[in-house]
Chains A and B, each alone.
Chain A
């Protein structure tokens, strides 16, 4: 499944290059696929963001409400990558330190700081009252 996704990405990349080469009025000059980060913190007031609308790209069905972002989605990309890598390393910090190329205490410190971050986020979501669905 990963290979198919990568295959589609590269195909799209080359299609865009061909389009821009032969089309005199290209729709977009951007030949790279932009990866968007899901914001979890409000840039205005610093509050926790919630998902209000979800849409299916294949059949255009949309669902509206007030959906709290899962705990893992509220972490930044680097932390999410770290957690995934830890999972794939079977929970072995030693293996993870070899993957990252950094020392064992550095990896362990990162994990401990991440645990504190998760505890803080868990505490924040427990203190925020849930709003009713629209």
Chain B
């Protein structure tokens, strides 16, 4: 009788799935807890490092020194809450399945873990110092080719991590809402644009 009750655990150790679609294994409350810890950690690192994640997709490698500490923490939470709320509303409209808020919020929080990786990367002292070279280069100042290439490579890594984060956010949305195809893609694009605008407006009002 127990023959059919075999755990299909062969996917449990699928490393590529854990990298690109961890929500296959992890969602709900556990994802929410892990995601919140990561958002807090990202905020703490950005405060100590002097860079900001002000918006759904934004990373600013330098930040004004007048910004209070709580704003660095609020950045991540504002972006997460806005995206999750918009995706939850859209998911309930377009999905045939029951969409749970805890799944949307949890998976979206966890999907922001590449932002933590970006924060860790930016905390490396040599990275921060080399990132400054790219702007003078464009302004026509003298910068050695090696310095410029290192700076460019650093920005490329950040861009790739942002792309990874967006891909994870999309995956989180499709898994939590059970939507796929063109409907999912178009909805997600609309939400991310609206989320970016909304997050900027909110930050404009709350940041002193």
Contacts and interface: CB of A to CB of B under 8 A. Distances in A.
Interface residues of B, number: 26
Contacts of A112: 96-97, 178
Interface of A: 2, 6, 81, 84-85, 88, 99-106, 108-109, 112-113, 116
Given A100-B7, A101-B12, A112-B97, A106 B175 contact: yes
B175 A104 contact: no
Interface of B: 1-5, 7-9, 11-12, 23-28, 31, 96-98, 100, 103, 107, 175-176, 178
Contacts of B24: 102-103, 106
26 contacts: A2-B3, A6-B3, A85-B4, A85-B5, A99-B7, A100-B8, A101-B8, A101-B12, A101-B25, A102-B11, A103-B26, A103-B28, A103-B175, A104-B27, A104-B28, A104-B103, A105-B23, A105-B27, A105-B100, A105-B175, A106-B23, A109-B97, A109-B178, A112-B178, A113-B178, A116-B96
A99 B103 contact: no
Contacts of A113: 178
B7 A2 contact: no
A31 B23 CA distance: 41
A101 B11 contact: yes
A15 B189 CA distance: 62
A108 B98 CA distance: 9
B173 to A, nearest CB: 11
A108 B91 CA distance: 15
A125 to B, nearest CB: 22
B80 to A, nearest CB: 18
Given A84-B4, A103-B27, A108 B12 contact: no
Contact of B103 (A2, A81, A101, A105): A105
Nearest to A112: B97
